[in-house]
Structures are given as C-alpha cells and as structure tokens.
Amino acid sequence: MYAITGVTGHVGGAAARELLAKGEAVRAVVRDGAKGEAWSRAGAELAVADFGDRAALAEAFRGARAAFVMLPTDPALADADADHRRLAGSIAGAVLDSGVPHVVMLSSIGAELAEGTGPIRWLHHMENQLRKTGVTLTAIRPPHFQEKVETVLGAAREHGVYPVFADSADVPIPMVATRDVGAVAAEALSAPSPAEEVIGLDGHCYTERQVAEELGAVLGRTLEVVTVPQPEWVGLMVGAGVPPQLAAELAGLYDAEQRGILQPSGDRRVTCTTELGETLRDLVI
C-alpha cells in the first residue's frame, strides 16, 4: 500500500490515479475528509491528516510500503519562511515516526541550492530533513509546470492580458505537465531505486510568448503579453491578493530564474512528453 499526500492537487492526484489504475492499494491522505470522498469511491483507503500534525501524519504513513510527500506553499501562513520550514519538519518527523522505508518527494529544479531561490530553498531544507531520518529518499525535481498558467487565467479571461515576471517573454524554458510528474512519482513508488536518488525532469521548451499564444488560441482571443519590470513584481502580486511576505519570496524565485541559477540536476533524467496545448485544453475547457 502507498500513502499519497496532495491527492486533491495535480501531482498527488495523478500519482494516485496511476497507482490505482495498476491495481495498487492507495491510502489517500487529505486534510478535509469531505474532499477525500471521491477517492474512497475510486477504491482508495482514506486518511485524514494535516501536514502540521506530525502524529496524525505519521499514522497515515504507518504500514505503507512507501509515501509520496510534498510541501504546499500556503499563503495563509503568518511567517512564510519559518512556518514553511516548520511544516517541512513536521512532514520529516512523521516519516521518521511512521517507519515508512521509502519516500518520494516532489521537489523542484534548483533544490540543490540552499539560498537565493525564493521558496525553492524550503524544498532544499525538506530534502535534507528527510535524509536525516534515514529513509530511502527519491526526490523528483521538475522545472516549470505547464499548469502554472492557472495563476494568470483571470487576467487572460477578463482583461486579455498575459503578465510575465521577467525582462523578456522570448526565452525558451522547459515546462512539464503535472500528469507526467505524477506518473514519474508513481513509478518511483512502485519500482524504487535501492538507494537515494534525485530524478531531474525534462520537457518541451516554450517561451512565455508561445504560452500566451497557445492559451489565447484555447480561449478564443488574442492575449497581450506584458513584461512586468522587476521593481513592480512585489507590488503587482500584493495588489492581486498575495501576502507581502509570500510575494517577496516569489519575486526571489523569478529573480533566480532571470539570473540563470536554476539548472537541471539529478542522478538521472526523465523526459516528460505531454505538450502544452493538451494541458491548456484540459485546464480551460
């Protein structure tokens, strides 16, 4: 049996569906039992635990062959840095207490770096916290998710604008679909490496302008690509409702991208094949 956190999200949900389709037993770990009812109907066992509740999370992991874990970015946390590190510690503590032998973690490109990467540094911290437990860790480090366009769908639909937090909208970068990431996670859970492993993900490369063109085609309208000057990043995000601390962290991430310090890494690489247009159609329609 495999314990899967984040099943109500993109990657955790994709991993759980892959495992269930293969006939594997899945324990879906949710914070709200009502949101897990669909997983019960799909054949999964249900466990209710919050990431910050070490004891409940340990119980959810106990008896599993392996667990899939992730660190959610929670805009409601009062102290973005300290509280996300505390959540990482709670997850690692639950892994230690449960005795689960193998953990697959959703990490990120750039997680080998301790500083200068905005919220990615919390994933660096969590990877290391998990390593200290003695568990066999598989860390999956994807680049951008194709689904990141969800954050600008409102601006695109209502105003015909596609904002870009960079100096240029014409730099190609790899983007992967979360369904592919979930499939890699499911494979890592059910056919684990005998030793610790970092899996770097590759995918099709797109510029932000190409993303805007493809999104506009799906929406049936032409989108204006607007590059946001760096001094305006935090203010624009705060104006859109992002808490100031988190906005500053995200600005740090965008800055790291512009400086080119987020580079692929890993013991092996896996190429994701889903194309952007397919992902956008599924998101919008």
Whether the pLDDT of residue 285 is over 80: the answer is no
| Token duo for residue 91 | 């997850």
Q: What mean pLDDT comes out for the span 54-66? A: 97
- Report the pLDDT averaged over residues 38-56: 94
Strand order in the sheet with 173-176: 144-145, 173-176, 205-206
Average pLDDT rounded to a whole number, residues 206-220: 96
Q: 57: closest CA among 111, 128, 108, 133?
A: 133
Q: pLDDT at residue 128 above 90?
A: yes
Are the beta carbons of 174 and 202 closer than 8 angstroms?
Answer: yes
Confidence grade of residue 213 (pLDDT, cut at 50, 70, 90): very high
Q: Measured between alpha carbons, how far is 214 from 222 in angstroms, rounded to an integer?
A: 10
- Whether residue 218 is predicted with pLDDT greater than 80 in this model: the reply is yes
pLDDT averaged over every residue in the chain:
95
Of the candidates 80, 76, 72, the residue with the CA atom closest to the CA atom of residue 123: 72
Contacts of 156 (CB under 8 A, 6+ apart): 149, 162, 212, 215, 216, 219, 223
DSSP 36: G
Whether CATH 3.40.50.720 fits 2-146+175-203+262-274 = yes
Reported as a single tens digit per residue, the pLDDT across 168-191 is 999 999 999 999 999 999 999 999
Residue 102's identity, in one-letter code, is: H
User: Cβ(284)–Cβ(219) under 8 Å?
Assistant: yes
Q: What percent of the chain has pLDDT over 70?
A: 100
Query: What is the pLDDT, as a whole number, of residue 36?
Result: 82
Q: Are 127 and 107 in contact (CB under 8 A)?
A: yes
The pLDDT score that the predictor gives to residue 40 is: 86
What is the pLDDT, as a whole number, of residue 57?
Answer: 97
Q: What is the mean pLDDT of residues 48-65?
A: 97
Taking CB atoms within 8 Å and a gap of at least 24, the contacts of 70-76 are 70/5, 70/6, 70/9, 70/11, 70/12, 70/105, 70/106, 71/106, 71/122, 71/123, 71/126, 72/6, 72/9, 73/119, 73/246, 75/242, 75/243, 75/246, 76/243
pTM above 0.75, yes or no: yes
In the chain, what are the domain boundaries?
2-146+175-203+262-274
Q: How far apart are CA 254 and CA 282, in angstroms?
A: 26
pLDDT number for residue 269: 95
pLDDT at 10: 95
DSSP secondary structure letter of residue 62: T
Give residues with Cβ within 8 angstroms of 63, minimum separation 6: 1
Predicted confidence (pLDDT) at residue 214 exceeds the cutoff of 90: yes
Over range 190-217, report the average pLDDT: 95
pLDDT of residue 89: 97
Segment 131-149 mean pLDDT? 97
- Cα distances from 255 to residues 72, 93, 131, 144, 262, in angstroms, run 21, 32, 28, 14, 10
Summarize pLDDT for 238-274 with one digit per residue, the tens. 988 889 999 999 999 999 999 999 999 999 999 999 9
pLDDT of residue 37: 86
Q: Give residue 49's pLDDT.
A: 96
Q: What is the mean pLDDT of residues 109-135?
A: 97
Maximum Cα interatomic distance, the chain, rounded to a whole number of Å: 53
